[in-house]
Structure 1
Amino acid sequence: MIHAALTALAEPTRLAAMRVLMDGEEHCVCDVMRRLGATQSRMSRHMQVLKQAGLVVDRRDAQWVRYKINPDLPPPLRALLDAALVDEVVA
């Protein structure tokens, strides 16, 4: 599971999507794609990778899918995500 998460977060668009979701709210894929300047098909694919890695959960709402960070992340995966979302690393 850690390997899949690391692979998912290594891609800049997916990491940026996780930054959008870090407020803890649900976001429709339309909101994420608008904020990142991505197409719907590209953003949906990225979100699917994040979902398969266990980092996000989704909920269908009419024609849109809403995503949020998986609230049931195991502690090691949560720590990894928190570290990946830090804006700066202090040396």
Structure 2
Amino acid sequence: MVVTILSALAEPTRLAALRILWDQGEHCACELIARLDATQSRVSRHMRVLKQAGLVADRRDAQWVRYRINPDLPADVQTLLRTVIEMDDQSERTAA
């Protein structure tokens, strides 16, 4: 499980998607497509990897899928995810 989670977090588009979802809200695939500046198929593929890693949950809403951070994440995985997102935020601020 650890390798699956770390592999999912290692890809920049997936990490960017998780940063969007980190607000604990639910976000439509259409919003992710726009904010990530990616095609629908690319976002779907990345979200599928995140879902398989257990990091996100989804639900159908008519023609769209809505994503959120998996509310059942174990505490240690939540801590890992928070740490990775904070580290990514710091590196972006340093690069700017």
TM range (shorter): over 0.9
Q: Which has the higher helix share?
A: 2
Q: Which amino acid aligns with 2:29?
A: V
**Structure 2 counterparts to residues 73-84 of structure 1, below 5 A:** 73-84=73-84
Equivalent residue for 2:13? 13
- Does residue 1:71 correspond to 2:71, yes or no? yes
Instruction: Kindly tell me the number of residue pairs found equivalent between the two proteins.
Output: 89
TM-superposed deviation, 1:3: 1.4
TM-superposed deviation, 1:19: 0.5
Q: Is the 8 A contact 1:2 1:77 kept in 2?
A: no
Q: Which amino acid aligns with 1:33?
A: I
Equivalent residue for 1:88? 90
TM-superposed deviation, 1:62: 0.4
Which segments of 5 or more consecutive residues in structure 1 lack a partner in the other structure?
none
TM-superposed deviation, 1:18: 0.3
Equivalent residue for 2:57? 57
Q: CA RMSD in A?
A: 0.9
Structure 1 segments, 4+ long, off by >4 Å, are none
Q: Identical aligned pairs, as a percentage? A: 64
TM-superposed deviation, 1:88: 1.6
Equivalent residue for 1:35? 35
Normalised by the length of structure 2, the TM-score is 0.89
Which segments of 5 or more consecutive residues in structure 2 lack a partner in the other structure?
92-96
Q: Which amino acid aligns with 1:59?
A: R
Distance 1:53 1:77 in 2: 11
Q: Which amino acid aligns with 2:62?
A: A
Q: Which amino acid aligns with 1:21?
A: L
Distance 1:75 1:48 in 2: 22
TM-superposed deviation, 1:14: 0.2
What secondary structure, in the 3-state scheme, does the structure 1 residue paired with 2:67 have?
A: strand
